[in-house]
């Protein structure tokens, strides 16, 4: 899977989670940039990515994330294992 | 009367874990649900009407089936520490009043990072699928 394909899939999951077909994500964005990003949508985001990409995240991995760029890096590292 | 309630923690769970129980929807449950929901549709109240629409008898409310999902999550898997986040269901075949049904719930995915998991849920009558769906649960 190349970076474009990965970003397309991640964007699709974000759009479905936030029910916003025009949502555009960027590396510097975080929860504070999306009004609907609360604890419940956070859970949905993590679980949807785990299921879609067949990976598992730990509590510490997720708690250390600062933005979407960090999340995508973490996801890439899991996929390439 | 003592009510038994499970107390699974996230570390107790594994993918493939199943909980199930049998239940029969009675006339009293149907009447109680009519009053709770305000749904007095004849499909759920009038045998002749239900038969005229091709059913074998009075069809159980979908809401009562969902109430059994509430029971399996709130009392069995995971039980006490559950918080129900989401539900998707399809009503595949009707269940009639008085028929013995089985509900089973199987853990399909565990997310330790979020202390949550996804359950696949089925309700069956005599091996016929009545309801099929999934639920998202957080363990508090």
Domains and CATH numbers, chain A: 3-20+32-79 (1.10.1200.10)
The Cβ of residue A55 has, within 10 Å, a number of other Cβ atoms equal to 14
Q: Is residue B78 reached through a cis peptide bond, with omega within 30 degrees of 0 on the bond before it?
A: yes
Q: Encode pLDDT of A2-60 as tens digits.
A: 778 889 999 999 999 999 999 999 999 999 999 899 999 999 999 999 999 999 999 99
Q: Encode pLDDT of B44-68 as tens digits.
A: 999 999 999 999 999 999 999 999 9
Q: What is the pLDDT of residue B1?
A: 61
CA distance A80 to A18: 27
Q: Which of B111, B118, B120, B136 would best serve as a mutation to test chain A binding (most A beta carbons within 10 A)?
A: B111
The pTM of the full predicted model, rounded to 2 decimals, is: 0.88
Q: Which domains does chain B have, with CATH numbers?
A: 14-26+61-139 (3.10.129.10)
Q: Cβ separation of A50 and B109 shorter than 8 Å? A: yes
Nearest residue to B22 via CA among B82, B68, B87: B68
Q: What is the pLDDT of residue A80?
A: 79
Does residue A81 surpass a pLDDT of 80? no
Whether the Cβ atoms of residue B118 and residue A51 lie closer than 8 Å to each other: yes
Higher pLDDT residue, A35 or B136?
Answer: B136
Nearest residue to B42 via CA among B69, B68, B25, B61: B61
Q: Encode pLDDT of B79-119 as tens digits.
A: 999 999 999 999 999 999 999 999 999 999 999 999 999 99
Which residues of chain A are at the B interface, by a Cβ-Cβ cutoff of 8 Å? 40, 42-44, 46-47, 50-51, 56-59, 61-62
CA distance B109 to B17: 10
Poorest-pLDDT segment among A29-33, B4-8, B16-20, B101-105 = A29-33
Q: Cβ separation of B113 and A61 shorter than 8 Å? A: yes
Q: Cβ separation of A62 and B136 shorter than 8 Å? A: no
């Amino acid at each position: 899977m190349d970076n474009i394909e990965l970003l397309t899939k991640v964007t699709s999951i974000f759009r479905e989670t936030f029910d916003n077909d025009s949502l555009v994500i960027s590396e510097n964005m975080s929860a504070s940039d999306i009004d609907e990003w609360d604890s419940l949508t956070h859970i949905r985001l993590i679980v949807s990515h785990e299921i879609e990409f067949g990976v598992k995240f730990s509590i510490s991995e997720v708690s250390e994330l600062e933005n979407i760029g960090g999340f995508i890096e973490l996801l890439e590292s899991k996929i390439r294992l | 009367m003592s009510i038994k309630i499970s107390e699974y923690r996230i570390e107790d769970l594994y993918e493939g874990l199943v909980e199930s129980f049998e239940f029969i929807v009675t006339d009293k449950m149907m009447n109680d649900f009519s009053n709770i929901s305000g749904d007095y549709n004849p499909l759920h109240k009038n045998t002749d009407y239900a038969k005229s629409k091709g059913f074998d008898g009075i069809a159980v409310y979908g809401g009562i089936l969902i109430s059994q999902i509430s029971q399996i999550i709130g009392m069995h898997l995971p039980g006490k520490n559950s918080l129900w986040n989401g539900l998707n269901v399809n009503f595949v075949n009707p269940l009639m009043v008085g028929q013995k049904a089985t509900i089973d719930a199987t853990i399909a995915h565990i997310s330790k990072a979020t202390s949550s998991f996804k359950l696949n849920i089925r309700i069956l009558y005599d091996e016929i699928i009545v309801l099929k769906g999934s639920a998202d649960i957080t363990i508090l």
